[in-house]
Amino acid sequence: MEAIAKAKFARFGSRKVNSVLGEIRGKSVQTAAQLLPLIPRIASQLVAKTLNSAAANLQSKAGRKIDASGMWVKEAYAGNGPMKHMKRVLPAPMGRAFQFKRKVCHLTIVVADEPLKRN
């Protein structure tokens, strides 16, 4: 059985979030939860919240208490969100203004109660 948790419109770049997700992908939820506070990126707080939500979703879906060491991170990825509404202005030389877009990402974590099968 597996459960999904999503964090949409997070104010982080998807590359920065994916660097954190690469550290926890395939590990048990207990190991991942212990590892996340040690990662020196602010996006690790977002990933920790979403991981806890996915674990709670799995317990709710199963209808019973599942130990964190018995759950594994099956999939974890972050994709780009829309940037059309997050246009900002950066001061430029000679009184001009350059436009840039704030990055937004959609984070998805899938947690399963059986370990991954590696081929």
User: Which of the listed CATH numbers 3.40.50.280, 3.10.20.740, 3.90.470.10, 3.40.190.10 matches domain 2-112?
Assistant: 3.90.470.10
Segments of the chain assigned E as strands? 2-10, 72-80, 87-91, 97-101, 105-112
- pTM across the whole model: 0.86
Model confidence pLDDT, tens digit, residues 75-114: 999 999 998 778 889 999 999 999 988 889 999 999 998 8
Q: Which sequence spans correspond to the domains of the chain?
A: 2-112
